[in-house]
Chains A and B, each alone.
Chain A
Amino acid sequence: MIELGKYAGTVLASYGVSLALLAGLVWQTISANARARRDLERQEKNG
């Protein structure tokens, strides 16, 4: 891999935190959208 030297922990921590936050945001965005779409389709079918 790449030499990260003595700052390896720092760099990996920042990448880890950032990517975790982004992944969480993306996941929440997609699942909320799926739920809204499902609920709307159900309502449109029944209503």
Chain B
Amino acid sequence: MSIWEYANPVKFMRTSGAILPFAVAGAAACTLGGLLWGFLTPEDYKQGSTVKIVFLHVPAAMMAINIWVMMLVTSLIWLVRRHHVSALAAKAAAPIGAVMTLIALATGAIWGQPMWGTWWEWDPRLTSFLILLLFYIGYMALWAAVEDPDSAADLTSVLCLVGSVFALLSRYAVLFWNQGLHQGASLSVAPGERMSAVYRYPLYLTMAGFFLLFLALLLIRTRTEIRRRRLAALQAREMRT
């Protein structure tokens, strides 16, 4: 029983169809539960009620990065083992990752507004997420631009690889860039900061919720791609006969 069995589209459809209801239920329960719980937590003495934004910002930011890593792994699997399900999964994941990045950016900016006085600051972390968004957009644009599906899969996989290296590189360049210019513009809540239990547990719940949400959406979107691919194959066969 190896994971490579799921590279078979039929088996993938069957298994994902079985998992999907649980993923959806889990996503809804954890996300809504976590957000509601977080919403009911007391205010932070330093940041007031804005601390409640953490329950959106941190899970979204985490998923934004993890989804790109997942795309990198599935791209590599496609390049090496040519499993179409893998390539389609990467294609399916990208819009989810882009939306997560947008949420991280929007909540980060809105959260910073009371502190900074402006709607945007070139804080190193926010800037890195903006760059990540650019990579997501480029990746999705390339998928859309190339007609042949296998070529599109190959080219976007190579782009994902090169992009990953540069995303990392940019992270450090941006840190250098902002620290070099002026101090004091960073978001004052670092995910690494010690959070009191009051906030920590709702946060874990929403993080789980966002992960399950990603899983559910990924499964649905990959199934869509598999169906589209099958449709194209059937139509091509029809044209030939």
Residues on A close to B: CB < 8 A? Answer: 2-8, 10-11, 13-15, 17-18, 21-22, 24-26, 28-30, 32-33, 36-37, 39-40, 43-44, 47
Contacts and interface: CB of A to CB of B under 8 A. Distances in A.
A36 B228 CA distance: 6
A35 B98 CA distance: 22
Q: Is the interface of A mostly helix, strand, loop or mixed?
A: helix
Interface residues of B, number: 38
A14 B239 CA distance: 50
B106 A10 contact: no
Given A2-B39, A17-B110, A21-B103, A29 B231 contact: no
Interface stretch (B49-57, B164-172, B176-184): B49-57
A13 B50 CA distance: 11
B92 to A, nearest CB: 9
Q: Is the interface of B mostly helix, strand, loop or mixed?
A: helix
Contact of A7 (B50, B56, B95): B50
16 contacts: A6-B48, A7-B49, A11-B50, A14-B56, A21-B99, A21-B106, A22-B99, A25-B99, A25-B217, A29-B220, A29-B224, A36-B227, A36-B228, A36-B231, A40-B234, A47-B234
Contact of B231 (A26, A32, A39): A39
B188 to A, nearest CB: 14
Contacts of A17: 103, 106-107, 110
A10 B113 contact: yes
A44 B233 CA distance: 11
A12 B114 CA distance: 13
B43 interface: yes
Contact of A40 (B52, B53, B113, B227): B227
Contacts of A6: 48
A29 B217 contact: yes
Given A4-B49, A18-B60, 17 more contacts: A2-B39, A2-B49, A5-B49, A8-B49, A10-B50, A10-B53, A11-B52, A14-B53, A14-B111, A17-B106, A21-B99, A22-B103, A29-B217, A29-B220, A33-B220, A36-B224, A47-B234
